[in-house]
Chain A
Amino acid sequence: MTAPAVAFSGVEKTYKRPRLLGAEYNTAVKGLSFEVRPGEVTGLLGLNGAGKTTIMKLITGLLFPTAGRVSVFGHSPADVAAKARVGFLPELPYFPPQVKPAAALAYYGRLSGLSGAELSLAVGSSMHRTGLEPHAGKRISEFSKGMLQRLGLAQALLHKPDLLVLDEPVSGLDPLAIHDIRALLAGLNAEGRAIFLSSHSISEVEKLASRVLIMVRGALAATVTRAQWEASPGGLEKLFVEAVK
């Protein structure tokens, strides 16, 4: 049996903030259980503070669960075996402004274990897929927000991951950039890659995802499939509003 791309089982994450006397605790997600199947596009919707970014970080091993279990392709997210199969695009990724995109990508390619001709090929391919080739001669300091987002996606694609974890991939982009990125993600999914994306844009998630998880104050309030929102008169937006109210 194929392991799920992502599996959360009774996951809780509580942040501890040390204070002068004792500490302050804040539970970001609690009792969270869900799965993302290989090759599936899963959307994650929720208001600010609902726990979306926490979930992304738990999947990528940047955070450790306080309770419960997270697995990525059957491995702990901290395992090399899991990380080798995941590509992550954080919200508003940063790249050193003084270098050109290929140099930045080469660095992240090396960190993914690529070298030599394989690395050059991966950098070229990622730039091509994300439409960065015409801007190859520019320094990153000259990049627009949309180009930075493309670069962020390009670094996530370098090692041909089986799962893409994308935090707000179209946030702040102009309509043309959104269109391009949507097409790119659809193409990646068509290749069999699972995509797990969070967004504030319900319409974007609606266009891409086959299933949506709606988070409310750290708990999974609803799981909605494409068939369900297509059958609903108000679409996904109505279902989301009902869930978060």
Chain B
Amino acid sequence: MNSLFLVRAVAFNSFSESVRNRFFTLFAVFAFTAVYASVLAGVMAVDQESRVLADFGLALIELTALAYALFGASSALLKEAETKTIYLVFSRPVPRWAYLAGKLGGALLTAGLMLLIMAAMHLSLLAFRGFGPPPFYAWALAGTFLKLAVIVSFAFFVSLFSTSAVSTLVISSIMWTLGHFASEARFLAERLPGLKGTAVSVFLWLIPNLQLFNARDAAGAAAAPGPAVLLPAAAWVAASFLGSLWLLSRKEF
């Protein structure tokens, strides 16, 4: 049997279930309200309204998509085990790697759709206020998606050994925060003397530097991300996937 066919079946089922779930709509409504509420800040910025609306919208889009994706990723495998749905899957000729790849693919597809829907809302707001999308818009969304891919796959990994969805959510959120602090932390580590500095540098090596993908912040700066950032993103996603597979292959249900 073609394993890719199985991956696709699991991914589309996972995607379809997530999109049908009321949380998807709730998050979309929240995003709509939050994005449109940023008009107030835009008005306060007077002639910088377009910049403020773009920045507020992109940040809200990212944080809402992050909350939604982490919420889904931290409970995806746990829920299937609790409801015994996983019995119906693993009692069939479905390799565990194919199931995992499908679930991760489904989670990323859903996060991608969520991003697109929120981007459409945001662009409609910009158009309503008489602005077009800023030139870095597509890059900003792509960067957000890469961040989500890294953190969602990490959440899958954590969910396979953590005791609850909440602890997965917390651990993944900490990783998200550390990922954004990586550059600042590296700067501080360089100033620490001797062994302390080395220890912190080694620790930082383990933190995925999410600033690499932060195109919405780097857009105005000299170092907007290039296509090369896909490589570290792919490496971190692959690492989390393989780590999850290692745990899942040992797991009993």
Contact = CB atoms under 8 A, between A and B. Distances in A.
A229 B12 CA distance: 50
A62 B86 CA distance: 9
B91 A62 contact: yes
Contact of A61 (B21, B88, B91): B91
Contact of B91 (A86, A91, A98): A86
Interface stretch (B1-9, B54-62, B130-138): B1-9
Contacts, number: 71
A88 B87 contact: yes
Contacts of A86: 91
B17 interface: yes
Contacts of B13: 107
A90 B81 CA distance: 12
Contacts of A62: 87, 90-91, 252-253
B25 interface: no
Nearest to B83: A94
A111 B92 contact: yes
A137 interface: no
B93 A88 contact: no
B6 A110 contact: yes
B88 A93 contact: yes
B89 to A, nearest CB: 6
A143 interface: no
Contacts of B87: 57, 60, 62, 88, 90, 93
Contacts of B21: 98
A84 interface: yes
B51 interface: no
A111 B6 contact: yes
A80 B1 contact: yes
Query: Which among A95, A99, A111, A113 has the greatest number of chain B C-beta atoms within 10 A?
Result: A111
A67 interface: no
B88 A155 contact: yes
B81 to A, nearest CB: 10
Interface of A: 57, 60-64, 80, 83-84, 86, 88, 90-96, 98-99, 107-108, 110-113, 115, 155, 159, 165
Given A80-B95, A110-B9, 7 more contacts: A63-B253, A83-B93, A98-B21, A110-B5, A111-B6, A111-B88, A111-B93
Q: What 10 A-B pairs come out closest when comparing CB atoms?
A: A94-B83, A88-B91, A110-B9, A60-B91, A80-B93, A113-B1, A83-B93, A90-B87, A62-B253, A111-B92
9 contacts: A57-B252, A57-B253, A80-B1, A92-B84, A110-B5, A111-B9, A112-B93, A113-B6, A113-B93
